[in-house]
Amino acid sequence: MKKENKSEAVDALKSAIEAQRGAVVASFRGVTVAEITVLRKKLREVNAEIRVVKNTMIRRAAEGTPFSGLSESFKGPTAIAFSHGDPVALAKVMKEYVAAANQKVTLKAGFLDGKTLTDQEVRALADVPSREVLLTRMARSMNYPISRLAQVLADGPRSFATVLESIRKQKPEEAAADAPTA
């Protein structure tokens, strides 16, 4: 690769680093083109991409950015998955792929919100429920007190009416019992 092509590749990686919302660094050994194509399709579905990169190029692209904290992970065959959407979805796809890859792929590290993540932290991130599930849970928890209040208020008049009805039924019986017998 010519020097100007290398600088263009480094610039492209730098722009990918700046545009990402999260990233996962993985080691790939013995992965076929068909297998990586399946992974690329899954990543596209969650608005992410994967790039197999030369370690020196990614180190140069990461210089001067918070992404440089991952430099020690750039050893051996390296691929970086960048998320342009939900970083949790990226972590989920990568974790599932690693589990199915029969040790051909291993997670090395991750990057989220300016912080370097270990492979364990990436796996933990993958276990977080999706955004939609979390929003549903939050809406349910916010709705519960309101619906419970409405239920109590609705039960109040109903309970009061039940008590009045039992008193009314009891009054005629008492009146009949108290009445003088002739």
Closest CA to 92 of 48, 27, 31: 48
pLDDT of 174 reads: 62
Query: What is the pLDDT at residue 45?
Result: 93
**Per-residue pLDDT at 42:** 93
What is the domain partition of the chain in residue ranges? 3-128, 130-182
Q: Name the 3-class secondary structure at 50.
A: strand
pTM summary value: 0.68
Low-confidence ranges of the chain (pLDDT < 50): none
Task: Please compute, for residue 80, the number of CA atoms within 13 A of its CA located in the half-sphere on the CB side.
Answer: 26
Report the DSSP pairing between strands 22-28 and 105-112: antiparallel
**Given this model, what pLDDT does residue 163 score?**
66
61-100 per-position pLDDT tens digit? 888 888 888 888 888 888 899 998 888 889 999 999 988 8
- Yes or no: say if 5 and 40 are a contact pair by the CB < 8 Å rule: no
Per-residue confidence (pLDDT) for residue 64, from 0 to 100? 82
The CATH superfamily of 3-128 is: Ribosomal protein L10, N-terminal RNA-binding domain (3.30.70.1730)
pLDDT at 48: 92
pLDDT of 177 reads 61
Q: What is the pLDDT of residue 147?
A: 76
